[in-house]
């Protein structure tokens, strides 16, 4: 409102300026009109009084002028103050009334009289001495030529110049009255204009204020559910933390829906959105007005409960509220959720620490299907540090902290590089380079692994596309966890990634561990056949570890078996493992698959694999996983003419690898 007042005051300025300009103009016009009126009066007087006194010879009986009736009357009643009649050459005053009047002649008089003699009627306002009280009087003095048309003469002839002073007072009063009326009208008009402008401005500023408020709302709220977003949640949680005390503790919780992605996948995003909206509404109505419920993104909600005596009980109740069936497009759905929470100040007071701890607790809840879990660094059941890592992983993916290292897969027959396997590493800002074993298994407990898979796919495809310049036929193998493979839209995501990178599907191999196949055979089979249809090759990793039914395996569109490195590495000393290696090679070949031996660290093992009939080798002997930049150099050294630099030992007479010396 204050802003509006300022606005109103400012817009008054141009209205005032306009008013003042018009007023000055009006005043000038009024004065001009007063002078013209006076000139008209004198013209009339000349016509009625003087013209009749001009005789046939076109000379004027000047002496009779002041005695002429209308003029005498005018002099007597004061409507004419002075009169003077100049000779046409302006040298003589022919007549003057009143007779004793002070001479009017000044230089100005002569100038004006001269103009009149030249044909113009002129006038000016001046002050005349009166000889009585008041001593002076304002007057309009008009000068006008008296002309007569001479028969047969070429132009009218100037007979005299008449100079008449009439009081300015009445003219002025009349002009002032007219001016006053004009001013009044002007004021009313401008006032109306100003009010109209004000009303327009008021309604516009109201509209603007509404828009500003709306934008502020948008910036801090989630557009799907209208709940506060992460930004506002962060602010409110921070404020609640500052107020938290032992007597008035604050609970901050992170709620993550379980398997929400399945709802999106099976029923479509539209229904997923409806489910989220309904759950958001429920959370909102089931908390107190002083609490905060926010949507942090996707299927994640945040809750701040202030001065709560039993947060566990409150959150269990909220979880039950989420659990209750929701009808979406006629289908009764129920979603479970995992809730992790912290109680401040006991579990921390720094907003970032507290949120991260709530996140960790949420992952514990998720991993153990425990429902509602409070953060507890002492708990033995889980490695809090590892879980904290997963909480960080979310940001690491977006923050560019992950890198892919590549390990070549080479043909045992000729050493030619067939593919490179992408292996993820995390360049952690404080812990250094982390290997997948320390974060992938935990990421696999949550949908976070999907983001990891998507990231690895995108990055590997980008790299292989770059590598086409050096090696056009090279394929890239990407590891995909069971959880991602089980997603209904997995194959679609893969083809989308191929399209985005502009890489043909034949250059991608998807590696899935044997155990991943067993987790959800049906879904896995569906994803695999969709990948196969799209032209993507599938490799079964760590084969021999699980117990895949051979019947199931024979039906899957699989291109490659990778013998688990635990069998390969000691095949030369462990006869059982050597037998397994040979069996897998046979099985694979019978099912028309390529067979890869991984974990090849020595020439002997490589030879053993060759003897067993294995097609492809991978291991430290050939190359350790290396960053992309190093791989480029490594590949450049291995031209098709010189495919391998690794030594190959000649086999002995029995076709066996000679014992290492």
The count of residues interacting with Ca ion (CB under 5 A) is 4
Considering Cα of 478, then 480, then 484, then 486, what sign does the dihedral take? positive
- By the rule CB under 6 A, 627 interacts with ligand C2E: no
Window contacting Ca ion (CB under 5 A); options: 18-26, 180-188, 195-203, 509-517: 509-517
What is the rounded CA–CA span in Å between residue 642 and residue 87?
131
Partner whose footprint covers residue 625, from Ca ion, ligand C2E, none (CB < 5 to 8 Å by kind): ligand C2E
Instruction: Name the H helices within 487-627.
Output: 490-501, 514-519, 521-534, 550-555, 565-569, 575-590, 603-612
State yes or no: residue 509 binds ligand C2E (CB under 6 A). Answer: no
* By CB under 6 A, residue 497 contacts ligand C2E: no
Query: Which residues have CB under 8 Å from 265's CB, separation 6+?
Result: 487, 488, 489
CA distances from 12 to 187, 194, 197, 429, 513 (A): 13, 7, 10, 61, 79
Per-residue binding letters, 450-489, with Ca ion (x by CB under 5 A): -----------------------------x----------
Report if residue 620 touches ligand C2E, rule: CB under 6 A.
Answer: yes
Is residue 415 near ligand C2E by the rule CB under 6 A?
A: no
Judged by CB under 5 A, the stretch of 128-136, 324-332, 465-473, 511-519 that binds Ca ion is 511-519
Using CB under 6 A, count the residues that bind ligand C2E. Answer: 21
The stretches of 324-430 forming alpha helices (DSSP H) are: 351-367, 384-398
Please, what is the minimum distance in Å from the beta carbon of residue 234 to Ca ion? Answer: 39
Asked if 560 interacts with Ca ion (CB under 5 A), we say: no
Distance CA 73, CA 529 (A): 125
Residues β-bridged to residue 420: 408, 476
Using CB under 6 A, pick the residue from 272, 311, 599, 608 that binds ligand C2E: 599
Q: Which does 440 bind (CB under 5 to 8 A by kind): ligand C2E, Ca ion, none?
A: ligand C2E
DSSP state of 641: T
- Binding segment for Ca ion (CB under 5 A), chosen from 90-98, 344-352, 503-511, 637-645, is 503-511
Binding-site member from 16, 217, 435, 552 for ligand C2E (CB under 6 A): 435
Q: Does the protein bind Ca ion through residue 542 (CB under 5 A)?
A: yes
Cα–Cα dist 350/369, whole Å: 28
Q: Which does 141 bind (CB under 5 to 8 A by kind): Ca ion, ligand C2E, none?
A: none
Shortest reach from residue 465's CB to ligand C2E, in Å: 18
Residues 552-571 that bind ligand C2E (CB under 6 A): 565
> 157-167 and 82-87 as β-strands: parallel, antiparallel, unpaired?
antiparallel
Nearer to ligand C2E, 160 or 420 (CB): 420
Closer CB to ligand C2E, 601 or 603, in the complex: 601
Among 511, 514, 560, 615, binds Ca ion (CB under 5 A): 511
CB contact set of 52 (below 8 Å; sequence gap of 6+): 68
Tell me how far apart the alpha carbons of residues 52 and 61 are, in angstroms, rounded to a whole number: 10
Any idea what the Cα angle at residue 179 is, between residues 177 and 182, rounded to 5°? 115
**End-to-end C-alpha distance for the chain, whole angstroms:** 94
Contacting range for ligand C2E; rule: CB under 6 A; set: 47-55, 107-115, 597-605, 645-653: 597-605
Least separation in angstroms between CB 407 and Ca ion: 9
Q: Do residues 336 and 323 make contact, with C-beta atoms less than 8 angstroms apart?
A: yes
Q: Which of 462, 522, 529, 453 is nearest to 494 (CA)?
A: 453
Shortest CB 497 distance to ligand C2E, Å: 13
Q: Angle at which helices 603-612 and 575-590 pack, to 10 degrees?
A: 50
Out of 514, 542, 604, 615, the only residue in the binding site for ligand C2E (CB under 6 A) is 542
Q: Choose between 462 and 542: whose C-beta lies nearer to ligand C2E.
A: 542
Residues 133, 437, 637, 641: which binds ligand C2E (CB under 6 A)?
437
User: Could you tell me whether strands 372-374 and 337-344 are parallel, antiparallel, or unpaired per DSSP bridges?
Assistant: parallel
Tell me: does residue 440 bind ligand C2E (CB under 6 A): yes
Written as six digits, the tokens of 531 are 């990948």
Question: How near is the Cβ of 495 to ligand C2E at its closest, in Å?
Answer: 19
Closest CA to 40 of 226, 225, 215, 166: 166
Give the binding range for ligand C2E (CB under 6 A) out of 176-184, 217-225, 238-246, 430-438. 430-438
Residue 604 binding target from Ca ion, ligand C2E, none, CB below 5 to 8 Å by type: none
With CA atoms as reference, report the closest residue to 476 among 492, 462, 487, 495: 462
- Closer to ligand C2E by Cβ: residue 437 or 472: 437
Query: Binding partner of residue 456 among Ca ion, ligand C2E, none, CB under 5 to 8 Å per kind?
Result: ligand C2E
> Interhelix angle for 260-285 vs 311-323, to 10°?
120
**Of positions 71, 476, 625, 657, contacts ligand C2E by CB under 6 A:** 625
In whole angstroms, the minimum distance from the beta carbon of 628 to ligand C2E comes to: 14
Tell me which residue of 180, 166, 185, 181 sits closest to 34, measured CA to CA: 166
The window from 99-107, 199-207, 352-360, 540-548 that contacts Ca ion (CB under 5 A) reads 540-548
Q: Is 541 in the site for Ca ion (CB under 5 A)?
A: yes
Q: Which residues, at least 6 apart from 359, have a Cβ–Cβ distance to it below 8 Å?
A: 254, 340, 391
Give the separation between CA 506 and CA 523, rounded to whole angstroms: 23
Report the C-alpha gap between 408 and 624 in whole angstroms: 8
Q: For residues 322 and 404, which CB has a smaller minimum distance to ligand C2E in the complex?
A: 404
Q: What is the dihedral of CA 458, 464, 468, 471, to 10 degrees?
A: -170
Q: Which residue's CB is nearer to Ca ion, number 347 or number 421? A: 421
Q: Using CB under 6 A, which of the segments 5-13, 345-353, 434-442, 606-614 binds ligand C2E?
A: 434-442
Q: CA 43 to CA 27: how far, in whole Å?
A: 24
619 binds ligand C2E per the rule CB under 6 A: yes
By the rule CB under 5 A, 514 interacts with Ca ion: no
Q: Quick one: which of 480, 495, 545, 486 has its CA closest to 520?
A: 486
Kindly indicate which of the ranges 47-55, 253-261, 448-456, 536-544 contains the residues binding Ca ion, using the contact rule CB under 5 A: 536-544
Q: Which is nearer to Ca ion, 122 or 569 (CB)?
A: 569
Residues that bind Ca ion (CB under 5 A): 479, 511, 541-542
Residues that bind ligand C2E (CB under 6 A): 407, 423-424, 435-437, 440, 456, 479-481, 511, 541-542, 565, 599-601, 619-620, 625
């Amino acid at each position: 409102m204050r802003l509006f007042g300022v606005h109103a005051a400012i817009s008054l300025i141009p209205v005032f300026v306009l008013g003042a300009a018009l007023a000055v103009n009006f005043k000038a016009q009024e004065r001009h009109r007063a002078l013209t009126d006076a000139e008209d009066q004198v013209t009339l007087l000349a016509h009625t009084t003087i013209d009749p006194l001009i005789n046939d010879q076109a000379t004027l009986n000047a002496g009779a002028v002041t005695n002429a009736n209308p003029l005498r009357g005018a002099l007597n009643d004061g409507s004419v103050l002075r009169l003077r009649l100049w000779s046409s050459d302006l040298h003589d005053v022919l007549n003057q009334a009143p007779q004793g009047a002070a001479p009017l002649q000044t230089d100005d008089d002569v100038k004006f009289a001269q103009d009149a003699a030249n044909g113009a009627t002129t006038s000016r306002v001046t002050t005349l001495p009166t000889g009585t009280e008041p001593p002076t009087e304002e007057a309009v003095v008009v000068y006008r030529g008296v002309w007569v048309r001479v028969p047969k003469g070429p132009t009218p002839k100037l007979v005299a110049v008449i100079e008449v002073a009439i009081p300015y007072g009445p003219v002025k009063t009349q002009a002032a009255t007219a001016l006053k009326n004009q001013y009044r009208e002007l004021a009313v008009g401008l006032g109306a204009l100003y009010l109209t402008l004000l009303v327009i401005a008021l309604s516009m500023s109201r509209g603007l204020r509404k828009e500003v408020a709306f934008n502020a709302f948008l910036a801090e709220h989630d557009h799907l559910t209208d709940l506060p977003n992460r930004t506002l949640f962060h602010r409110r949680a921070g404020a609640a933390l500052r107020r938290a005390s032992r007597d008035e503790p604050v609970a901050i919780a992170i709620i993550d829906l379980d398997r929400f992605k399945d709802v999106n996948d099976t029923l479509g995003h539209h229904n997923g959105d409806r489910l989220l909206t309904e759950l958001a509404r429920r959370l909102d109505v089931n908390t107190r007005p002083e609490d905060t419920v926010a949507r942090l993104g996707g299927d994640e909600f945040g809750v701040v409960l202030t001065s709560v005596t039993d947060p566990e009980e409150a959150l269990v109740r909220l979880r039950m509220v989420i659990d209750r069936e929701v009808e979406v497009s006629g289908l009764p759905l129920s979603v479970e959720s995992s809730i992790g929470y912290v109680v401040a100040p006991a579990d921390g007071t720094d907003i970032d620490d507290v949120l991260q701890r709530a996140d960790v607790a949420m992952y514990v809840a998720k991993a153990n299907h425990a429902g509602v879990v409070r953060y507890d660094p002492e708990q033995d059941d889980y490695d809090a540090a590892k879980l904290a890592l997963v909480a960080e992983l979310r940001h690491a993916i977006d923050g560019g902290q992950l890198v892919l290292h590549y390990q070549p897969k080479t043909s045992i027959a000729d050493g030619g590089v067939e593919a490179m396997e992408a292996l993820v590493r995390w360049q952690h800002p404080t812990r250094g380079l982390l290997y997948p074993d320390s974060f992938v298994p935990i990421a696999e407990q949550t949908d976070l692994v999907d983001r990891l898979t998507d990231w690895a796919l995108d990055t590997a495809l980008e790299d292989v596309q770059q590598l086409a310049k050096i090696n056009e036929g090279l394929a890239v193998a990407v590891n995909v966890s069971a959880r991602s493979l089980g997603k209904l839209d997995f194959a679609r995501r893969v083809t989308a990634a191929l399209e985005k990178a502009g890489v043909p599907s034949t250059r991608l191999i998807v590696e899935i561990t044997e155990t991943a196949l067993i987790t959800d055979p049906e879904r896995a089979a569906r994803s695999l056949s969709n990948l196969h249809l799209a032209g993507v090759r599938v490799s079964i990793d760590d084969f021999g570890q699980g117990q895949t039914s051979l019947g199931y395996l024979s039906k899957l569109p699989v291109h490659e078996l990778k013998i688990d490195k635990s069998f390969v590495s000691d095949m030369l000393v462990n006869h059982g493992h050597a037998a397994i290696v040979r069996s897998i090679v046979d099985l694979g070949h019978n099912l028309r698959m390529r067979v890869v031996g991984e974990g090849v660290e020595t020439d002997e093992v490589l030879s053993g694999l060759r003897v067993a009939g294995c097609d492809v080798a991978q291991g430290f002997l050939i190359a350790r996983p290396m960053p992309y930049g190093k791989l480029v150099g490594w590949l450049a050294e291995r031209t098709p003419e010189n495919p391998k630099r690794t030594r190959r030992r000649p086999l002995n007479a029995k076709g066996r690898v000679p014992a290492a010396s």
